[in-house]
A and B are shown apart, each in its own frame.
Chain A
């Protein structure tokens, strides 16, 4: 009996985590990019104090561009390794989509867990409302992983995949990105952001999820 979409997604996600832990290249590239960018920002500021809004915007810019090095890997790696036709044959569309989203979400949460504490230390940022920062990052990473997985699948096979992916991602993720900055500003003691921003981000994530689920069947099946 074919497994349910949930069980199928769990199987795909476990496989993704196992393969990526053994491969390591994707993780290293993403974390190194984050570290290099953070070091550049920190050195260029050389101890200067920024407004909370600027601090928040800088954090999200680093998070966004670092995630671009990993958020689309789910399908690109399969394509490069030649395993995509195998996965297409054996995996049901919803299992593959949500398994890949789950994997990307884990990847981006690890990126955030690595980057955010270093950012707070290097830029000497005070957090006044840590729970708002945590919520903004979790919901923001969820949106990035859903959009990244879908757009990564769309861009797979394109000869300029890397460029297309980032260009497509930015407008799609802006409704998550901008409230994320506002909420982070609030967490850093600024005046921007409120609870409704978080609600908006959650609703947009849900919309992205529904759209990805509906569109992915057309990508996965030719009939």
Chain B
């Protein structure tokens, strides 16, 4: 089983303390919502969870079956959807997915690509031969979700994932998150959306 343990973690930018003394254990099989006002540190918490940011005070430990994992081994367990993470504008949707998934050792077949694209609500025809620099924000968000779904990662770090999606897209995302949790994955969602918070099994309020 995979788990993330926050041990007395404090986050600060310079003199400004964002949150302090956070201790929490997040385990696989659960959706955990991270809520709080703007600037309360929701995105920071996700980055700390993925060791994409170093905790200056306290510890963030990620364990698989009790064994701590770090660096490249940890990264291979993580997939993330956040506004800061951009895809390559000069590549097509297929090329973007192919590149990122191959770095994770996933060979993207035609069938996988078509199924996943359809699942996230995109059509093959509208993506064909187009660089993603021409895509709308919502289409890019759906493409990031497609990479997330196929990555095989068992820690999903989602920062305001429904922000650029329509109602159908948000429904698809919550359904996929529940399926991921049922498969033993950790789903951590930073959100201010009531629907996303309600779908979570647990909440971290900052």
Q: Using a CB-CB cutoff of 8 Å, which residues 90-141 of chain A contact chain B?
A: 90-93, 95
A82 at interface by CB-CB < 8 Å: yes
Cβ contacts A51-93/B at 8 Å (1 or 0 each) = 0000000000000000000000000000001110110111111
A8–B90 Cα distance when bound, in Å, is 20
Task: Report the stretch among B29-37, B80-88, B174-182 that lies at the interface.
Answer: B80-88
Q: Which residues of A contact B89 (CB under 8 A)?
A: 81
Q: Is the CB of B87 within 8 A of A86?
A: yes
Given A8-B103, A86-B100, the answer on whether A18 and B95 have CB atoms closer than 8 Å is yes
B128 to chain A, nearest CB (A): 17
Q: Which residues of B contact A81 (CB under 8 A)?
A: 86, 88-89
Q: Using a CB-CB cutoff of 8 Å, which residues 45-89 of chain B contact chain A?
A: 50-54, 70-72, 74-76, 78-80, 82, 84-89
Given A2-B72, A223-B51, A223-B54, the answer on whether A90 and B104 have CB atoms closer than 8 Å is yes
A31–B104 Cα distance when bound, in Å, is 35
In-complex Cβ contact of B80 among A22, A89, A95 (8 A):
A89
Q: Which residues of A contact B72 (CB under 8 A)?
A: 2, 92-93, 221
Q: Which residues of A contact B131 (CB under 8 A)?
A: 22
Q: In chain A, what residue has the closest Cβ to B157?
A: A89
In-complex Cβ contact of B91 among A8, A19, A91 (8 A):
A19
Per DSSP, chain B at the interface is loop
Q: Which residues of B contact A12 (CB under 8 A)?
A: 103
Interface size (A, Cβ < 8 Å)?
A: 27
Q: Which residues of A contact B100 (CB under 8 A)?
A: 86, 90
Residues of B at the A interface (CB closer than 8 Å) are 50-54, 70-72, 74-76, 78-80, 82, 84-91, 95, 99-100, 102-105, 131
Given A2-B104, A11-B103, A222-B53, the answer on whether A217 and B71 have CB atoms closer than 8 Å is yes
Q: In chain A, what residue has the closest Cβ to B89?
A: A81
A172–B104 Cα distance when bound, in Å, is 34
A200 to chain B, nearest CB (A): 34
Q: List 25 A-B contacts (CB under 8 A).
A: A1-B105, A2-B76, A2-B105, A3-B105, A11-B99, A11-B102, A11-B103, A18-B95, A23-B90, A81-B88, A82-B85, A83-B86, A86-B86, A86-B100, A89-B78, A89-B80, A90-B75, A90-B100, A91-B103, A92-B72, A217-B71, A221-B70, A221-B75, A222-B54, A223-B74
A22–B134 Cα distance when bound, in Å, is 14
9 more A-B contacts (CB under 8 A) besides A15-B95, A19-B90, A90-B100? A2-B76, A11-B99, A11-B102, A19-B88, A89-B75, A90-B103, A93-B71, A93-B72, A222-B51
Q: Is the CB of B90 within 8 A of A22?
A: yes
Q: Is the CB of A89 within 8 A of B52?
A: yes
In-complex Cβ contact of A3 among B88, B90, B95, B102 (8 A):
B102
A15 to chain B, nearest CB (A): 5
Q: In chain B, what residue has the closest Cβ to A93?
A: B72
Q: Is the CB of A83 within 8 A of B87?
A: yes
A10 to chain B, nearest CB (A): 10
Cβ contacts A156-169/B at 8 Å (1 or 0 each) = 00000000000000
A51–B97 Cα distance when bound, in Å, is 55
Q: Which residues of A contact B74 (CB under 8 A)?
A: 223
Q: Is the CB of A92 within 8 A of B103?
A: yes
Q: Which residues of A contact B50 (CB under 8 A)?
A: 89
Q: Which residues of A contact B82 (CB under 8 A)?
A: 85
Q: Is the CB of B88 within 8 A of A83?
A: yes
A22–B74 Cα distance when bound, in Å, is 33
Q: Is the CB of A85 within 8 A of B52?
A: yes
Q: Which residues of A contact B86 (CB under 8 A)?
A: 81-83, 85-86
Q: In chain B, what residue has the closest Cβ to A95?
A: B103
Q: In chain A, what residue has the closest Cβ to B53?
A: A222
Q: Which residues of A contact B70 (CB under 8 A)?
A: 221, 223
A3–B103 Cα distance when bound, in Å, is 7
A81–B72 Cα distance when bound, in Å, is 24
Q: Which residues of A contact B53 (CB under 8 A)?
A: 222
